[in-house]
Chains A and B, each alone.
Chain A
Amino acid sequence: MGMERIEVHIPSDLTFERVVRASTDEIGKVLEIPTDRLEDLKLAVSEAVCNAIEHGNQQMADKLVMVVFTVDTEKLEVHVIDQGTGVDIERLDFSEQHVEDAHIEGEGRRGFGMFLISALVDQYEVKSSEEGTTLTLRLYRKEIEP
């Protein structure tokens, strides 16, 4: 298989998150990732891309989100890279989040994205500098082979 690295660049508009999701779906099918694992990956990628658009690039039209898929014999990695000014990694909260009365009384606070990322991929890591943030999602292929 000749697929080792694929890049998708999108503007900072949430509409284009769907393009990345569709790309993830196609790549996952080529790699024969089982359906349930692929659904998990698409959701994790979606969350990472939405974060990059909204929080990283602050939805600024002139900033791109780069999504780089890399494949080797061991793993599939998805690198989601924004052009923001960086985040304080210590303050990122990947902890388990549930719908609770507080959410309901607070009228639908959005706070599940990071938890979903942490729960749905084998590994994730964040690197950030004042030139942007990269969130890497990793799926090990021994897990994804049918």
Chain B
Amino acid sequence: MTTLVEREKFGEVVILHIRTNSIDAVSAASIEASCNEMQPITVLNFREVAFINSAGISVLLKFVVKARKAGYKLFAMNLSPHHQKIFKMVEMSRFMPTIEERDLAAYR
């Protein structure tokens, strides 16, 4: 299975850079596998992501579940305005608030 997520770790922070433009049923399994890379502060970087459908939302919920169970903090970074709207519609943003790249500087 092709790895579609690149891991960048510093301290208790991990940024999971999603290297596909589509989070859907096709990419779901590869993205879900990176749940194992989560750290106490986990940031999903959506910079390259142009499309997320409900299968994609379902995969992202796996990260929410794991964060909730482990007591981790989970954030979304570089989410497009369209996806910010969708996250708000389904209230994903309650469980995965957005964070700015500059906010991570203190952890580096």
A is bound by B: yes
Question: Which residues does A use to contact B, with CB under 8 Å?
Answer: 14-15, 17-18, 21, 36, 39-40, 42-43, 46-47, 50, 97-100, 103-104, 107-113, 115-116, 119
Residues of B70-108 contacting chain A, CB below 8 A? 81-82, 86, 89-92, 94-95
Other-chain residue from A43, A104, A107 in contact with B53 (beta carbon distance below 8 A): A43
Can you list 24 contacts pairing A with B, beta carbon distance less than 8 Å? Answer: A14-B25, A14-B55, A17-B24, A18-B22, A42-B51, A43-B51, A50-B25, A50-B53, A98-B91, A99-B57, A99-B92, A99-B94, A104-B61, A104-B68, A104-B95, A107-B61, A107-B65, A108-B59, A108-B65, A112-B57, A113-B53, A115-B89, A116-B53, A119-B89
> Are B54 and A14 interface neighbours, CB within 8 A?
no
> Are B51 and A21 interface neighbours, CB within 8 A?
yes
Neighbouring A residues of B51 by C-beta, 8 Å: 21, 42-43, 46
Neighbouring B residues of A111 by C-beta, 8 Å: 54
> Are B61 and A108 interface neighbours, CB within 8 A?
yes
> With A21-B51, A98-B90 in contact, is A103–B61 under 8 Å at CB?
yes
Query: How far apart sit A103 and B92, CA to CA, in the bound complex (Å)?
Result: 11
B64: interface (CB < 8 Å): yes
Question: Which residues does B use to contact A, with CB under 8 Å?
Answer: 22, 24-26, 51-55, 57-59, 61-62, 64-65, 68, 81-82, 86, 89-92, 94-95
- The secondary-structure label for the interface of chain B is helix
> Are A108 and B62 interface neighbours, CB within 8 A?
yes
Q: Which 6 A-B pairs have the closest CB atoms?
A: A108-B61, A98-B91, A113-B54, A112-B54, A14-B25, A110-B58
Neighbouring A residues of B58 by C-beta, 8 Å: 108-110, 112
Query: How far apart sit A97 and B25, CA to CA, in the bound complex (Å)?
Result: 20
